[in-house]
Structure 1
Amino acid sequence: MRVASVAGLALLAGLLSGGGSAADETTGPAGFAAACGAEDSDTGTVTAGVGVAVDVPATGEVGRPVQPGPVTLTVTLSRADLAELLPEGTEAFVSRAALKVEVAQNGDSAEASWELHAPSTPLPADGDVALVHSGDVPYVTLGSAGDVDFSVKELTIELRAATAEPEKTAPPLTTVMCRLKEGENGHLATTRVTDGAGTDPSGTSETPTTPKGGSGRATDKDIAVEPATAEGDEDPDYCPVEPPVGEVDASEAPQPPPGDPVSTFENPNPQASCANAAGLANVFKMDGAMIINDPADHPALVSVKTLTHVTSRPPDAAGGYYIRIDNLANLELPDADSTFLAFGFQPVTAKVSFENSPITISTGNVGTEAFSTAYFHQSLRLHDVEINGTPLDVGSNCRTSKPFKVVLNGGAAYVNVGVGGRLDGEVTIPPFTGCGTGGEDLNPLFTASISGPGNRVFMNQASTCIPTNPENSYCPPPPAEIPGEERAQ
C-alpha cells in the first residue's frame, strides 16, 4: 500500500506484458453479473460486473498437478456504489479478492480458494471503477480420469483505504461479499484428464486414491486442491523468509531506444517470494548435458525480490514505448551429477558445484515486442571425479579460472517473474585451474574436454510463492518436462 498509484499501474502493466503461456487453453475473460454488499451491513446490495481471465491446461494426467494461472480478476462497480463501501474521504484504495472456485469431476467436487491482489487504485470523480486483481493460484491433482470443470461460486473483496504509513495508521477495512446472480453458472474452463497413457476418460470414477502431492484432506473425493503432502512423502519446500541480497544489474536487458528521457521508480518495499526452477546445461565438447537443480533430488528454491525497479517511457510519435521491470534473485544451486563420454569413448562421472552471483531478472516491452532476460555470473567446481569407475583425485579446488557471464533470454515465453517460463542462452566456459594433487597437473585435461564456447543453458521457472501469504506459501513444482530438447545438438 506504500507504492504510489503510478507504480502500482506499472506493476500491473508488467504482469500483463509479454505473450504466450505454458497453458494449452486461454479462457476469458469469462463475464458474470454479481450482487455485492458489505458484510454485516443493512445498506443493501449493488450490482458488479465480474470478469475472470485464466490460463488452464486443456489436458492433464492422473496424479500430476493441473496448474491454473495466472489469473486476472476484474470487478467493475460504479463510482457511487464503490464510494458507499469505502470510508468517507477515501482518495485511493487497495483491494484483495478471494474467489471460491469449485473443482468438479465425475460427480465429486472440492473447493479452491484463489487469493488475488490489486494495486493501489485512485477513486475517480465519476464513472465506473475497475478493480483489476491478479496472482497465482494453487494447483489441483486428480486421482481419476474424466473432465474437470472449474467454476466460480462466490467472491469476497477486502477494501482498504491506501495510506502512506499503514502500519502506523491502520485504515478501516471493508469486506464485500459477492454472489453470482440467478442464471449465472460461473463456468471458467474444462480440463480433460487422462490416465497418462493417452486413454480417453470414461467419465466414470474408479476407486478414489490419494494422488501423490495431494493434501489428504478430501479423502472421500478423488480431487486434491491444496498443494500439501501425501502420507509418506517428505515435507514440501516452503518459501523461506530470507530475501535475496545484492544489487540489480540490468545492463544485459534491452535498453530504451533513443528519444525522450525515461523515468525510474525504485520500490522501497519489494515483495519477497520464491520459485522452483529446473533446467539443462549442455557441454558442447562432450556432446551431452546435465540436469541443473534436479526436481527429483532436493532442488533449491530461487529467492526473489519482485519489482525492485520500474523504468519506463510513454509512447512518442515514433512509437518508442518502453517499460522494464527489474527483479533481484539469488539461487544457491545444489551439486549436479554429470556423466559424459570424454573424447567420445571414455565414461567420466563427476559432481559439479555452482557459485552464482545475484541474478537480475528483467521483463518488459520495447514498443510492441516483449522481452525477458536473466543475467548473472557463475563459477564451476569439479569434485568426486571418476574415469571408467576409477576415482581421480582432482583436489578440492578444481574450478574455472574465473567467473563467466550467463545471459538467458525468454522473449515472450517467460511472461514475468511471478508467472515464470522458459529462458535459455549460451555460455563460454573458461579454462580450468587448481585441478590435480601431488604435483599432477590435470588442468589441461579438463580445459581440453570442457572449456570453450557453444554451451547451451536451458532453464524453466515455475510461478512464485509468497512466504507472508498462507494461501500461496507453497511453491509449485517446475514444469514436468525440463527444457532443452535441443540438448547436445
Structure 2
Amino acid sequence: MHTQIPVTRSGRSVKVASVAGLALLAGLLSGGGSAADESPGPLGLTTSCGTEGGAGAAVPATVALSVDVPDSGEVDRPVQPGPVSFALTLSRADLAGLLPEGAETVVSRAALKVKVAQDGESAEASWELNAPSTLLPADGDVTLVHSGEVPYVTFGSAGEVDFSVGEFTVELRSATAAPEQSAPALTTVTCRLKEGESGHLATTHVTEAGGNEPTGTPGAPTAPAGGTAGAEGKDITVEPPVAEEEDPDFCPVGPPTGELDPSEAPPPPPGDPVRVIELPGVYMCAYALGLANVQKLNGAMIINDPADPALISVMSTKRSTVRTVREKGGVYTRFDSLANLDLPDAESTFLTFGFQPVTAKVSFENGPITISIGNIGSGTEKLTFSTVYFQQSLRLHDVKVNGTPLDVGGNCRTTKPFKVVLNGGDAYKNVAIGGVLEGEVDIPPFTGCGTGGEDLNPLFTASLSGPGNRIFMNQASTCNPASPTRSYCPPPLPELPGTKPST
C-alpha cells in the first residue's frame, strides 16, 4: 500500500510518504555529506504501558530507539530516516500480567507515532516495526527488538524541522500461528512517555534547492486555490494518495541476482541470540561513477563512463540482523541489500615505466554486490558502518603501445577474482540517498596475455598487479519506481569523485 499525506500551507507542503517494503532502512546508515547522525547513540525513553480498557495497572518499560536522521535537506527532496532499531524492555513479571496465562513465545508489532513539525505545522508519520519470534524467559527482563517500514519526508519550504516520538502501541501475537494465518493479537498495549520526556529524535535543517538559505521575510499565510482559510489565515489540506498510473521504464535493468554475502561487514559482538529477518526487499536503481587508481602507474581510470553509464540494480534491504549487546549497551543492527552492476568497458592511457604511452580497454566482471549498513553499541561508543563487498575480475583488450596495436588475445585477464571492499564512513548515508565509498584492492597477476607463443603476462603483471590500488565510487540517490512520488526518477547522475570544488 502506498500512502502520501501532504499538509499544505501558504503554497508550501510537508509530505509524509510510506513505501511498502522500504523496510527501515533503506536502508542503511552513517551520516554522509550534508546528512549526518545527530544523536550519539540510541534515545533512551522511560514509558508506562497498559492495555486499553484498564485491565490491570500500567507497568513501566524502557525504550532504546536508534535512528539516523539527516541533519540537513533540501526543499522538495526526500529526507530518509533510517535505519531504525526499536528495543522495548519490560520485566517478565509485568509482561505476564499483560498476556494470557501460559504464553511462552510471541511475535510483536510496534506502531510509533512520529511527529514531524515545521513552522508551527506538523504531520504524523507512522512507523510500523516488527520483532521476530521471542522466547519468553521464566524471569528477568524481556527485550523485543523491532524493525520495519520507515516513511521518508519531503518538505515544501525551508526551515528547521523537528522529529519527535509520542505514544506507541505494541501488539503481541502468538508465535505458533501459521505464517499464512492472521492470528488475533493476544494483547495490545499502549505506551506513553513518562512526564518530562520530550521524545525528541532529531532536527533537520531544510534549505532551498541547491543549499541556499531562504531570502526575504515570509508574508502572511494565504489559502491555496480551492482551499478555505482558517481562523488565523492558515489553510491545511490533506490530499489523497497519488493515483496509480503506468510507470515509465525508469529502471531498464532486471532485479539483481545472486546471494547476499555480508562477510566483510563488522560482525555482531557478543550478546543475546542473533535475530535474522529475511525481507522481500524493494527494487530500485541508481548510477554510480568512480575512479580507480593504478598504484604502479601513478595514474587513474574512470569507472562507469558518465557519457554512457550503466545502472546499478538494487534490491534494497533483503535481510536485517539484530542482536542486543547487553554488556556494552545498545543494539547491533545490520541491513543487507543485494545489487548487480554490469559496468561498461573503461579506456585509459598510462605512461608505462614512466615514458611509454599505453592505451587499453578494461572489462570489469563483477559478482553479486552486498551492501551492508548498521550500528554497533550506543553513546560515545556507538559505531556506524556502511560496507560494499563483491568479487571482481579484470580483462584487458584493444591494447595500443605508442599508438601501435598490441595483440594480447581474447583472454588476457587476472588469474583469479579479487575482493573489492568499499567503506562509506561519514560520506555514505544509505542505499536510498547514496554517497561516496572508497577502498583499496590488490590486483592479482595476469594470465592468457599474448598470441603466437608470445608471453605478455610478465609485462602486465609487472605494470599493473599488486596492492595499494585505491577505488572511489560516488553513488547517486536511487530511483524507486514503486514510490508514489517517484523521487529521483529517472535516476540522476552523481558527481565524479574528486571533481566537485571544495568550499
TM-score, scaled relative to structure 2: 0.59
Q: Decide whether the 8 Å contact of 1:237 with 1:474 is kept in 2.
A: no
Letter matched to residue 126 of structure 2: S
**1:118–1:456 distance in 2 versus 1, CA, 3 Å:** same
Measure how far apart 1:97 and its partner are: 1.5
User: Which residue of the partner structure matches residue 471 of structure 2?
Assistant: 457
Q: Deviations over 1:154-208 (max 9, x none)?
A: 4232212333x74388754244444557876643221111225554446849999
The residue type paired with residue 189 of structure 1 is A
Going from structure 1 to structure 2, the CA distance change for 1:235 and 1:229 (only over 3 Å counts) comes to farther
Report how many residues are paired. Answer: 439
Partner residue of 2:290 out of 274, 280, 286: 280
Q: Distance in 1 between matches of 2:396 and 2:262?
A: 28
Gapped regions of structure 1 (runs ≥ 5): 1-14, 210-219
Residue of structure 2 in register with 1:94 after alignment: 107
**Shift, 1:383, TM fit:** 7.6
Distance in 2 separating the partners of 1:379 and 1:395: 17
Name the structure 2 match of 1:83: 96
Letter in 2 for 1:355: N
- Counterpart of 2:468, as a letter, is G
Indicate which of 45, 48, 51 corresponds to 1:31. 45
Q: Aligned letter for 1:280?
A: G
User: How far has the Cα of 1:100 moved from its partner?
Assistant: 2.5
The answer (yes or no) to whether the contact 2:169–2:190 under 8 Å persists in 1 is: yes
The CA distance in 1 between the partners of 2:436 and 2:425, in whole Å, is: 9
Pair 45,476 (structure 1): closer, same or farther in 2 beyond 3 Å: farther
Cα distance in 1, alignment partners of residues 243 and 419 from structure 2: 35
Tell me the residue number matched to 1:333: 341
- 2:162 corresponds to 1:149: yes
RMSD: 6.6
1:377–1:403 CA contact under 8 A, matched in 2: no
Equivalent-residue separation in structure 2 for 1:438 and 1:406 (angstroms) = 32
The aligned residue for residue 5 of structure 1 is none
CA distance in 2, matches of 1:207, 1:432: 69
CA distance 1:266–1:402, shift in 2 (3 Å) = farther
Summarize deviations over 1:240-276 as a string: whole Å, max 9, x none.
8877338x695x789999xxxx99x999974454687
Q: Structure 1 residues 178 and 249 mapped into 2: Cα distance closer, same or farther (>3 Å)? A: closer
Indicate the residue corresponding to 2:128 in structure 1. 115
CA distance in 2, matches of 1:29, 1:64: 26
Q: CA deviation at 1:340?
A: 3.8
Q: 2:204 aligns with which of 191, 216, 223?
A: 191
CA contact (8 A) 1:360 1:376 kept: no
Return the alpha-carbon distance in structure 2 between the equivalents of residues 475 and 95 of structure 1: 34
Aligned AA (1:67): Q
For the pair 1:57 / 2:70, whether they are aligned, the reply is yes
Report if the CA contact (8 A) 1:35-1:179 is conserved: yes
- Distance in 2, Cα, partners of 1:167 & 1:480: 42
Pick which of 439-448 and 105-114 moved more.
439-448
Q: Please state how far the C-alpha of 1:95 moved relative to its aligned partner.
A: 1.5
Cα pair 1:238 1:475 within 8 Å, conserved: no
Q: In structure 1, what is the equivalent of residue 394 of structure 2? A: 380
| 1:136 and 1:418 in contact (8 A); partners too | no
The equivalent of 2:174 in structure 1 is 161
Q: Which residue of 2 aligns with 1:46?
A: 58
Match of 1:213? Answer: none
In structure 1, the residue matched to 2:367 is 356
Structure 2's unaligned 5+ residue stretches are 1-24, 225-234
2:292 and 2:303 in contact (8 A); partners too? no
Identical aligned residues as a percent: 44
- 1:238 to 1:387, Cα distance in 2 relative to 1, 3 A: same
- Is the 8 Å Cα contact of residues 342 and 449 (structure 1) preserved in structure 2? no
